[in-house]
Amino acid sequence: FPKCRPCTVGADDHCLFQNIRVLPLNRNGKLSYCLWNRCIFRPLQMPLEEALLPNQADLNWSLDPATRTYMQYVCAKSLLPIFEKALEHSQTEEIVIRPREIQFRHYCDFCSTGLFVSSYLCRKCGQEYCPACQLRMLEQQGEPASHQKNGIYRCANDKVDTERYFHNAEDMLPVTSFSAEELESETKAMREIVQAHHSNDTLQNTPKDRRTSAMEQIMDSDLSDLSELSDRESSPAITEAISEPQSGTSAGMSEDCRVQRLLQSHAVTRFENDAMSEEQFLDVWREGIPLVVGGITPRLTWDPNAFQERYGEMMCTVVRSDEIGHGEMEDNDPSDYCKRLTVHQFFETFSMDADQRREFLGRGNWKLKDWPPAADLRTSFPDLYEDFNDFVPMPDHTRRDGCKNLSSLFAKNANTPDLGPKMYNAWPGDHKAGGQGTTKLHMDIADAVNVLLYASDDLRIVDGHAAAQWDIFRAEDADKIRKFLRQHFNTNEEDPIHSQKFFLDDHLLQKLYAEKGVYSWRILQRAGEAVFIPAGCAHQVCNLTDCIKIAVDFLSPYNIERCFKLTEEFRKVAGENVKSWKEDVLQLHSQLWYAWCTCKKLAEEEPPS
C-alpha cells in the first residue's frame, strides 16, 4: 500500500494520512496488500480543538463597537468569496472533512501558500495542494509527460506505480476543514455584514477617497523648491533635500552629488509623535502613503554599549549586506558572506574604523538582521519588548496587542505568525554608482513600521544628522520597476522585486525616472524617527552610518487588498517546475478568519445598548 513522503524516507514527521485513511486488515488483524486506488479515505471522528480567542483584556485598549464593526466588515468582505467557493468545494464527490488543527500550519506543498478551508491531497504520497495549484494541474494535463514529471506534477511516492509517477486529476482527493453546515452559516453571516455596511454610507472609519494636494506633488529635491512649497501649501508634507556636504559652487560638485540633486521625490509627510492625532495618521495611511513620525524617546538605552553589557555573550549570525544576489556567493567561500560571532563582537565593530573592521570581518558591509532570529522578543528580551510597546507610534495599530491591529485578534492557542518586533543592526552601506545599500529592494507582505533608535557619530551623516536613506515606491509602480530591473540587470528572475537581489543606486534611480517616469519617496531617517511602510510598496534602505533599528509588521484593515495581491504574487513566483522558496508567513486567510471570529465574540459580549 502507498506510503506518504515522510513514511517513505523514515522521517520523524507525522504520517500525512494520519486520521483520514482506512487500510484493510486480514483475518489475523494485520495490514493487507492494498493498491493505491483501493484505499478508503474517511476522517477519524475526533473532537474539534477549540480556538482560544482574545478578550478585551488581551488588547492594549478596549475595542470600541464602531471600529469592531468596521474590522468585521473588512474580514467578511475578504473572506466571503473564499467561503462561497469553499461551500461549492464541500459538495464535491468524495470530499473528506479533516478536523482543523489549531497548532499546526498546513502549506501547499508546491507554492507554500497557507492552506485554508479547501485543499487537494494526493492519494499516493500525501502531498497537499491549494485549489490554485490543483487548477493548474487540470489546465495543463495535456502537456508532455516529460514536463509533468517535474515540479508541481511530481509525485513524491513514484514507486507506487512505475508507469504513473506524476500527479493528475484522479490522484487528487478533495479535502475541507469546514463542514458544509459551518460554511453555510458563516457565509450567511458574512453576507449580512457586507450588505449592512453597503447600506450604511456613514459607518465610522470608512476609508476616505481623498488625499491632500501636497501628497500628489512631484518635487525636485532642490532646496529652493522647499520654500515655495511652504508658501503654497499648508500640508505637513515636505520634500527632503538629498544632498551631501559640498564646498564651493555647483561647478565644483562631484558627479555623485549632481546625480543626487537631480533625483525626484514624492513629498514626504512628517509628524511629531506627541502632536499627531489618529485622524491625521489615518488620512495619510488609508491612501497607502508612507510617512515619518519623529520625537520617539525610548525609556531604555538602545546603543552598542548597552547590548554588549546585556547580551554580549549570546551567539549571533551576521551577513553581508553588499554584493549578495549578483552571483558572487556561488564562486566564493560561504564564510565570506555569513559569520558566527558573539553579540559583543559585532557591536564592538561599531567603534572601529574601516581598516579595523576589514581586518576583523573581511571585506564588505555587515549586518545583524531579524534579531532574535527564531526567538520571540517578548520572551527573549521582555524589557526591550515592553519599552518598544511604550514608544512605538500609533500603538493601537502597531503593537502586537493593538486593538486596531487585525493580527492581535489571532487565536491565543494557535501557531501565531511571527510578525516581530525584530531588530536590524547594520554598518553603513553605499548608494552611489555600483553601491549595494543595506537592504535590497523588496516588498513586505504586511504593513510595517521601522524605528531608528541609534546612529553613530560619523562624518558620512549629512542633512541634519540623517542616518538612513529610504526609497519607497508607490504600489502601482511595481510592474514598471520589475520591467526596469529585468532590462538593466538582464535577469530572468520570476519576480525581481520579490527575489530581493537588487539595489537601485542613485544613477539607476535617475535612469528609472528617465525611462519609466517612476520615482520614490526619498526619506532621510534620523535617530528617534519611525518610518511607516504600507504593504505592497517596494522599498530599499541604505544606512549612512552604523544604525540600530527595530521594526514590526502589523495588519491594517485599510491595506488588506494589497496583502491579498502580494500573497498571490508570492504564490505565482513558483514557476511551472520550481517549488516556491518563500513560505506564507503572514497566513492572511487564517488571520482574517480568527479576526472575524473574535469580532463576533466581542460583539456577543457587548452589553445591550
Which domains does the chain possess?
5-203+599-605 (no CATH), 218-244+255-410+418-558 (2.60.120.650)
Residue 219: enclosing H or E segment and its boundaries? strand 218-220
Q: Which residues of 297-330 are buried (b: 16+ CB within 10 A; e: fewer)?
A: ebeeebebeebbeebeeeebebebbbbbbeeeee
Residue 110 and residue 574 in contact, taking contact as beta carbons nearer than 8 Å: yes
3-state secondary structure of 264: strand
Give the residue with greater pLDDT, 571 vs 464.
571
pLDDT score of 210: 35
Least confident range from 184-198, 210-224, 594-608: namely 210-224
3-state secondary structure of 120: strand
**Residue 433 Cα to chain centre, angstroms:** 29
pLDDT score of 585: 81
Least confident range from 47-56, 96-105, 128-137: namely 96-105
Q: Which residues of 378-397 are buried (b: 16+ CB within 10 A; e: fewer)?
A: eeebeebbebbbebbbbbbb
Residue 526 burial (C-beta neighbours within 10 Å; 0-12, 13-18, 19+): middle
Report the half-sphere exposure of 595 (CA within 13 A, side-chain side).
Answer: 32
**CA–CA separation, 529 and 540 (whole Å):** 17
**CA–CA separation, 519 and 266 (whole Å):** 7
Residue 468 has pLDDT above 60, yes or no: yes
pLDDT band at 150 (very low <50, low <70, confident <90, very high): low
Average pLDDT over residues 46-59: 86
pLDDT score of 30: 77
**Distances in whole angstroms, Cα of residue 572 to Cα of each of 128, 174, 239, 442, 460:** 17, 22, 36, 16, 41
**Distances in whole angstroms, Cα of residue 53 to Cα of each of 88, 391, 408, 413:** 28, 27, 10, 8
If phi > 0 it is left, if psi is from -120 to 50 it is alpha, else beta; for residue 24 that is beta
Least confident range from 34-43, 559-568, 596-605: namely 34-43
Residue 245 has pLDDT above 50, yes or no: no
Cα angle 475-478-481, degrees, rounded to a multiple of 5? 140
Residue 344: enclosing H or E segment and its boundaries? helix 343-348
Max mean pLDDT among 87-101, 202-216, 498-512 falls in 498-512
Q: Grid coordinates representing 23? A: 487500510
**CA–CA separation, 304 and 311 (whole Å):** 10
Average pLDDT over residues 128-133: 90
Helices (H), 392-477: 395-398
Give the residue with greater pLDDT, 572 vs 582.
572
pLDDT score of 331: 53
Residue 12 has pLDDT above 90, yes or no: no
Give the residue with greater pLDDT, 179 vs 163.
179
Report whether the peptide linkage leading into residue 372 is cis, meaning its omega lies within 30 degrees of zero: yes
From 292, 298, 240, 296, select the one nearest 271 (Cα to Cα).
292
pTM of the model: 0.85
